[in-house]
């Protein structure tokens, strides 16, 4: 086989693996990112065949939705029509659904890898052994300073490092893999050379090589995704690596070993037999998958029908003509609940939706830290650095360094090879009061890492040192934000830039509840940066020269919305002049009332006792500091819509915390440049979030993180379930399920846009990746008319149809050939 073909297939298979980020900045990512050039339906078939990865719920789930009248017959009919299928008589259709609803999981195809064949021949689960082996090695290799017994002499090349360790590791031979160390020592040093040498004798057809590589990577989908994330991030910051290809070489090394070691068990003959029978698939499994995909389509149509009904029954309500304040929130679905309740409490406050980094993609470096945090979407690189600043900088720096040194020394003592025994016996009993306090929610909240050691200096509000951002860059960011701000020509006396973050303890996935647009961090730094820049007189003068006039009495305040407790705090309070304190106090009173209303609404999603409901503020604060709490909040569970429109068209409408809301007015968007920016950034990010929740729900154990109560943190960057197994990606079961039923409804994102379809089409045509998302059914695109109603639905290839119908495509069979 030609070297170029091997390289091309390897490249394609690696691109199929979506990146994943470590726990410290656990941002949502579309787990199907590598398949957006392929239809949703065909991807489901490929993933089922290659890795038994699910992309639909079980049949019984959809039957339950039908029984509850969530899915109606009209939705099922639309699904048939959209696929261009002849409708099946109801009795026949439901008989078949009932049949498959009683069936367990059906695998589309057998495991045709060499380790899979070896398992079938020897009746030992060698795939499981390989996964455990890779997990033990990779956990040590990628360790992020969580352990104190570290591996020395790490190599930058994954394949070489694994080879070095495996050539000395006796565990494989103890498990019965004879001469494994000798085999590993004989492998080439270069991973590309090894891949080329090993692929040749396998005699895989050119058009099946990418599938083979991808199937191997799906064996360890968690580690593959994490390594893909490292490559993705390195490429974003101009330092390309090919670690995922190196991981592929490690998996191929295992395949090579099984081919040689089990020759007497006729593994080769079975391998070559499988090569000639690739088309053999479980017919019933195919049929079941097709029915599930049809039901998923009907479930998605049900969501569209509900959205259309909700918007149709509401009137367009004008925003206040002269608001006393404007609050800019992240587009996050949790903001929808808060914005609606705030507007109900105080009609003189106008709210807006904006990407949560607010157009300030900075790298934030706290005092006494060597590395900064990228406070921006992972789609783009951060720009200049902002630093934490306080009055007595040197004293604060020494204080934090001292705190960190004491903490690190204590950790070394607890986990040292000898000292840990001394810790458990004589010292362990001293933790009894803390254990009791934590168990009964008596403990004080854990110190915010962003303020740890600096509480004394931060009482008056936080400050940032923006000297690392050149003035022209500050001005450019300010212009970018104001250009995209719908109310730039009618700013209120107070503009509250409101970032968001969450609070919880003993929660490895805590950053997953923070702001995805801020790189998996709280949005407070971006809010502070924005307020500080926009309050600068020189910036305002230069903005005026560009036609952006900020009234002299407009004051930008930075705020933080705690999405766990629904408290909103002002971060730069000392920027408020004494003569305006009373105005801000009145605003704060309205905000506090809205917070209480939000807690009341959100409480309906939790299984609370009557006692807990009596004081919801205390209840949610207790959840935030309860170390046994597995559901501190629901995050973005339930998200299924992204509305790009003026607030007037959604104001007063209860969207149930399921819709992302982007403020946008097409009448003020010359050449639709703002819309293009929204569709190429926030629309992509919201689809990532939606599809992460979707994947974590439909396949909790491969695309999700499994059971949170069984998690063990490995290397400070990820979790495994129990004592081993693959690295877990995605969200824990408890993030999408309330213990009785799914809290997240797995429905694809409905993107509702208030703009001419010609403008939308022009943007899709310009950006092929966006067009693929729509054409291949990863998102559903809908048009909002001047009355605030959905009237058109995008079908395919820049075509639209009446939203009430689904004319469908050409006729096709229900079962794929």
What's the average model confidence in pLDDT over 422-444?
61
Rounded distance, CA 535 to CA 526, Å? 14
648 vs 275, higher pLDDT: 648
Q: Is the pLDDT of residue 394 over 60?
A: no
What's the average model confidence in pLDDT over 745-765?
99
Q: Enter the DSSP assignment of 424.
A: I
pLDDT of residue 382: 86
Rounded distance, CA 182 to CA 161, Å? 16
pLDDT of residue 432: 66
pLDDT of residue 201: 84
Annotated binding residue 330 = yes
pLDDT of residue 153: 58
Q: Is the pLDDT of residue 143 over 90?
A: no
What's the average model confidence in pLDDT over 268-285?
79
Describe the crossing of helices 757-766 and 673-680 by its angle, rounded to 10 degrees: 60
pLDDT of residue 77: 95
- The pLDDT > 70 percentage for the chain reads 88
pLDDT of residue 813: 43
Q: Is the pLDDT of residue 624 over 80?
A: yes
pLDDT of residue 276: 72
Q: Is 613 exposed, middle or buried (0-12, 13-18, 19+ CB in 10 A)?
A: middle
- 460-519 tens-digit pLDDT: 556 799 999 999 999 999 999 999 998 999 999 999 999 999 999 999 999 999 999 999
Average pLDDT value for the chain: 90
Among 744, 731, 604, CA closest to 299:
744
pLDDT of residue 278: 62
Among 8, 507, 24, 517, CA closest to 226:
24
Query: Which pLDDT band, with edges at 50, 70 and 90, does 540 fall under?
Result: very high
Query: Which pLDDT band, with edges at 50, 70 and 90, does 319 fall under?
Result: confident
Query: Which pLDDT band, with edges at 50, 70 and 90, does 144 fall under?
Result: low
Strand partners, 351: 327
pLDDT of residue 449: 52
Q: Which of 327-331, 429-433, 592-596, 790-794 has the lowest mean pLDDT?
A: 429-433
pLDDT of residue 388: 86
Q: Which of 74-78, 341-345, 428-432 has the lowest mean pLDDT?
A: 428-432
Q: Is the pLDDT of residue 18 over 60?
A: yes
Rounded distance, CA 501 to CA 515, Å? 6
What's the average model confidence in pLDDT over 227-244?
93
181 vs 420, higher pLDDT: 181
DSSP string spanning 240-308? ---HHHHHHHHHHHHHHHHHHHTGGGTHHHHHHHHHTTTT---HHHHHHHHHHHHHHHHHHHHHHHHHH
Rounded distance, CA 709 to CA 690, Å? 24
The stretches of 546-603 forming alpha helices (DSSP H) are 581-603
Annotated binding residue 515 = yes
pLDDT of residue 367: 82
Q: And the tokens for 730?
A: 């995605």
- 3-state DSSP call for residue 375? strand
Among 672, 570, 726, CA closest to 136:
726
Q: Is the pLDDT of residue 739 over 50?
A: yes
What's the average model confidence in pLDDT over 792-805?
94
- 173-212 tens-digit pLDDT: 999 999 999 999 999 999 999 999 999 888 898 889 999 9
- 3-state DSSP call for residue 411? helix
Q: Is the pLDDT of residue 22 over 60?
A: yes
Q: Is the pLDDT of residue 92 over 50?
A: yes
Q: Is the pLDDT of residue 457 over 50?
A: no
* Domain-wise residue ranges, the chain: 3-30+110-279, 325-393+459-632
Q: What is the 3-state secondary structure (H, E, C) of 739-803?
A: CCCECCCCCCEEEEECCCHHHHHHHHHHCHHHHHHHHCCCEEEEEECCCCCEEEEECCCCCEEEC
What's the average model confidence in pLDDT over 216-245?
95
150 vs 367, higher pLDDT: 367
Q: And the tokens for 425?
A: 């016996």
pLDDT of residue 446: 53
pLDDT of residue 275: 80
- 649-662 tens-digit pLDDT: 999 999 999 999 99
What's the average model confidence in pLDDT over 429-453?
58
Among 115, 118, 363, CA closest to 255:
115
Q: Is the pLDDT of residue 719 over 70?
A: yes
Annotated binding residue 598 = no
Strand partners, 660: 642
| Beta strands at 800-802 and 790-794: parallel, antiparallel or unpaired | antiparallel
Q: And the tokens for 183?
A: 């085999």
Q: Is the pLDDT of residue 413 over 90?
A: no
Query: Which pLDDT band, with edges at 50, 70 and 90, does 354 fall under?
Result: very high
């Amino acid at each position: 086989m030609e070297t170029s073909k091997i390289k091309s297939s390897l490249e394609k298979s690696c691109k199929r693996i979506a990146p994943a980020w470590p726990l410290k900045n656990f941002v949502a990512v579309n787990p199907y990112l590598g398949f957006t050039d392929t239809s949703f339906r065909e991807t489901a078939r490929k993933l089922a065949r290659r890795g038994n990865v699910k992309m639909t719920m079980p049949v019984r789930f959809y039957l339950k939705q039908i029984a509850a009248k969530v899915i109606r017959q009209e939705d099922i009919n639309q699904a048939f029509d959209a696929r261009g299928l002849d409708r099946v008589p109801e009795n026949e259709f439901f008989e078949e659904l009932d049949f498959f609803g009683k069936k367990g999981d059906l695998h589309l195809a057998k495991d045709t890898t060499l380790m899979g064949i070896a398992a079938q021949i020897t009746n030992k689960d060698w795939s499981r052994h390989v996964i455990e082996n890779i997990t033990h090695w990779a956990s040590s290799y990628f360790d992020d300073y969580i352990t104190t017994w570290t591996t020395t002499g790490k190599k930058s090349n994954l394949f070489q490092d694994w080879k070095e360790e495996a050539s000395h590791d006796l565990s494989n031979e103890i498990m019965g893999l004879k001469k494994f160390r000798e085999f590993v020592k004989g492998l080439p040093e270069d991973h590309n050379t090894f891949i080329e040498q090993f692929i040749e004798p396998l005699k895989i057809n050119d058009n099946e090589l990418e599938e083979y590589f991808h199937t191997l990577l799906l064996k360890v989908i968690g580690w593959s995704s994490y390594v893909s994330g490292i490559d993705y991030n390195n490429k974003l910051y101009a330092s390309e690596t090919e670690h995922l290809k190196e991981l592929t070489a490690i998996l191929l090394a295992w395949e090579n070993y099984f081919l040689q070691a089990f020759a007497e068990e006729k593994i080769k003959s079975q391998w070559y037999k499988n090569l000639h029978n690739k088309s053999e698939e479980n017919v019933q499994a195919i049929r079941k998958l097709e029915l599930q995909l049809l039901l998923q389509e009907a479930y998605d149509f049900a969501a569209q029908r509900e959205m259309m009904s909700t918007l149709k029954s509401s009137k367009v309500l004008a925003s206040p003509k002269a608001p006393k304040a404007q609050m800019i929130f992240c587009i996050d679905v949790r903001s929808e609940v808060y914005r609606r309740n705030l507007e109900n409490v105080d009609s003189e406050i106008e709210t807006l939706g904006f990407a949560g980094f607010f157009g300030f993609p900075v790298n934030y470096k706290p005092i006494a830290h060597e590395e900064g945090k990228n406070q921006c979407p992972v789609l783009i690189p951060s720009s200049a650095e902002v630093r934490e600043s306080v009055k007595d900088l040197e004293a604060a720096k020494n204080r934090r360094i001292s705190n960190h040194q004491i903490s690190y020394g204590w950790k070394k003592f607890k986990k040292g090879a000898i000292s840990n025994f001394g810790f458990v016996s004589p010292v362990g009993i001293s933790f009894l009061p803390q254990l009791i306090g934590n168990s009964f929610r008596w403990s004080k909240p854990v110190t915010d890492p962003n303020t740890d050691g600096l509480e004394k200096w931060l009482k008056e509000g936080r400050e940032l040192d923006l000297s690392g951002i050149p003035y022209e860059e500050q001005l450019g960011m300010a212009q970018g934000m104001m250009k995209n701000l719908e109310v730039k020509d009618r700013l209120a006396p107070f503009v509250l830039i409101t970032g968001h973050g969450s609070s919880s303890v003993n929660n490895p996935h805590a950053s997953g509840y923070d702001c995805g647009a801020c790189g998996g961090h709280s949005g407070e730094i971006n809010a502070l940066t924005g307020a500080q820049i926009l309050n600068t007189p020189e910036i305002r003068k230069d903005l005026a020269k560009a036609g952006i006039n900020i009234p002299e009495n407009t004051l930008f305040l930075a705020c933080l919305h705690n999405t766990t407790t629904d408290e909103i705090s002002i971060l730069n309070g000392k920027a408020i002049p004494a003569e305006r304190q009373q105005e801000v106090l009145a605003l704060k009173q309205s905000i506090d009332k809205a917070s209480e209303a939000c807690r009341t609404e959100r409480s309906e999603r939790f299984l609370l006792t009557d006692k807990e409901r009596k004081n919801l503020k205390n209840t949610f604060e207790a959840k935030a500091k309860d170390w046994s709490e597995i559901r501190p909040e629901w995050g973005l569970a339930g998200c299924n819509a992204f509305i790009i429109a003026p607030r007037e068209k959604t104001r007063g409408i209860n969207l149930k915390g399921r819709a992302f809301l982007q403020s946008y007015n097409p009448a003020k968007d010359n050449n639709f440049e703002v819309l293009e920016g929204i569709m190429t950034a926030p629309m992509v990010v919201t689809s990532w979030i939606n599809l992460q929740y979707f994947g974590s729900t439909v396949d909790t154990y491969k695309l999700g993180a499994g059971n949170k109560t069984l998690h063990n943190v490995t290397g400070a960057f990820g979790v495994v379930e129990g004592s081993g197994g693959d690295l877990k990606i995605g969200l824990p079961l408890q993030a999408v399920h309330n213990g009785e039923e799914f809290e997240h409804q797995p429905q694809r994102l409905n993107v509702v846009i208030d703009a001419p379809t010609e403008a939308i089409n022009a943007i899709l045509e310009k950006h092929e990746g966006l067009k693929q998302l729509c054409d291949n059914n990863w998102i559903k695109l809908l048009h909002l008319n001047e009355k605030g109603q959905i009237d058109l639905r995008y079908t395919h290839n820049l075509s639209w149809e009446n939203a009430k119908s689904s004319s469908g495509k050409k006729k096709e069979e229900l079962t794929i050939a």
